[in-house]
Structure 1
Amino acid sequence: MVSALKCAAFNLIWAKINAVKSTPAEAELKRLKKELRSFCKVCETCLSLNRTEIRDQAFELLCDLLLLYSQDSVRSTPALQTLVLLPSDSMRSEMAAFLVDYVFSDSDDDELNVEEEMKITLLQRKRNQLAGYCKLVIYGVLDLNAATEVFKHYSKYFKDFGDIIKETVSKSKLISPVQSAKTVCLSLQQLFSEMLTEDHSQQDLSEIRELAKKLAMSFGVDLHRVRKPLVALHMDGMHFAFREPREGEEPNMNLAFLEILSEFSFKLLRQDRTQLAAYLKSECPSAALSWPSVRMYQCSLEGRSSSKPREKEGGDAASSHDTPAAKRKRTTTPGEMDTQARNTTSCSRIHSSC
């Protein structure tokens, strides 16, 4: 099966090369387009098979073909526009699930009693697969929101994939600084929501805060250049923290997210801190203004110490939320959270007042 996949993929690769060199007839293009989509559908199906060799090969070939038949690849040859391959929603979901289940996972090393040399080989393959996925984001085949499945693991898998993820974060800022910042915020929101669906503890929240610290450092030292992206990130974070509860949820269950958001406050300019602090007071429910999470975030905006204030007895911020939000499924296409909606009006109001 692996050999068959490789053979079919090489045929499609050579067909694209030949099409660029000498534009084929319309009938030939239609045939190639049909073969390409059929093959990619087969690869998508293989991603969920319980056969490591087939599954890995299918993912790698999908990454190669999506890049080879991308919009950018035919920009100089408009006649080949019909060959552009756009990943379907189901394909995006399957590829994101592949990362979660087989790349950002230690299951292979835990279950197999393999030698050190084999572990290195397995790690190198995972790195190649992650790099292939990140290329799809960088070259616009996948939306920036698809990078949430990558950014979320920056801290936990820093030793194995830190260089790849760091470069992806950096490149995403060149594509769209504001959207990149929103994607960073969305990654943290997803982790926070997943934490609430489990037996969450203060340790879990601390781990997400550590990730936030690493991601905050990626914004660099030129605070004027990153001003707009950071304000957008804070606005998205506050809207998530204060969002209206869904049916069956307790109110204010996301307020602890402000502790995570406080890790980005030191990058804000003074005038933006003032405006965001005012927005915080206007949006935060009056009963929650004294909550430790809110006070911590408020202190970070006012330039005071962001260390966690001493909590009142029985008033732990994490334990006060008994009903967690629904966990995002692994195969859900990244970026579907409603808190990622643009809030350009609010952001522009902050800048216009400075």
Structure 2
Amino acid sequence: LRLHLGQWHTSKDFCSVLLVLFSSYGLLSLASRLGVRFLDKFEIAVDYRLTARILDLLWIAVGIAINIYITSKNIPFSAIMDGKNDTHICLKVWYLYYKWAGIWKAHRMGIRIGNFNIQRDSLAAVAPLFASAAKSNYTTAIAHFLSNIAAHPQLEENLHHDERERIDLLLYEYLDNNTVLHTERTSESRRESLWNLVDDLINVFGMSDPLSHNLFKEYPPTELHHQGVECLIACYEKGLERIKAVYRQEVLEIECRNARGRRKTEVVRTRVKDFNQKKSKNKTGIKSFQQASGSSNQADNLESPYIPESQNNLVKVPKKKRKQTTPEEEKILEELLVYKEELPDSAINEILSRLSSNWNKAKVKAAWRYRKSKV
């Protein structure tokens, strides 16, 4: 069963390929619309069954929406990718998902029905996408696998032998053969969400600015624009060149091995944590702005001559500058030093008559005590 278990692992990694390639084009938004709550688990395919069901439901919703839209607009199915990539951007992106996810479904169906030819052809068709999604180990493994099948016809015949019986054993003994029933129940429970998503996609396909739709409000796609579509379309051909290089270097060994760039994705990948960090920064910025506004308002209140009583304990009134004693005033105040124990009122009044109006009895006494302590 090792070979067939390997096929299931390949199918799981194929899910990861789709998640990587469409992560910046609204995949998380569509999954969220279907009711997926733990998107961080979904994006790394923690649970293969659940991830496969969600991708399957997305494929159904996208397929229905595309067919309804192009029928209403009289657009031939073969003409979706025609024309410039600055028009019908969202339609082209999700047509590619419908196309590439269809290969994944064919590969999965080949495993289920025990048809090796479907598995082999699907794997060959999808190999460039593994390279574009930076699945380096799987890219190398696929290159070796396909070359071995081509070089050893007897191996292919052995793989055909009793494959249906082996798959039945795998499904019943290891998976309880409940996958189809679970999928039916899941589809039934999510029927409303599915059709809501279909309606949203139909509307988005016809919009010149799809990012303004509420579908993308929570997780706005970062690459849903002209350059992003060009990059997504080109990733298949670039991936094909990459796997050809792997074949020459790893299988035929006619070129020196060069692993540089194999871990690079051909599209921009966006993770859930990237959206969360952006939201956190936005919240921090808003909070800082509010605090700055509050500080500004507080400063305005300080400059105002009126301060409400309820804020007396919260707002600090700026202190007045201390008036400096002039040399003339110093000489007048020094005359009071003749009094050692007590300063009589007559002396205070006489001094006040010679000082400016800023002075009073309390200030004169304070000045006398201060200067007496310095003697």
Higher relative contact order (Cα pairs below 8 Å, separated by 6+ residues): 2
The alignment's TM-score, normalised by the length of structure 1, stands at 0.22
The alignment's TM-score, normalised by the length of structure 2, stands at 0.21
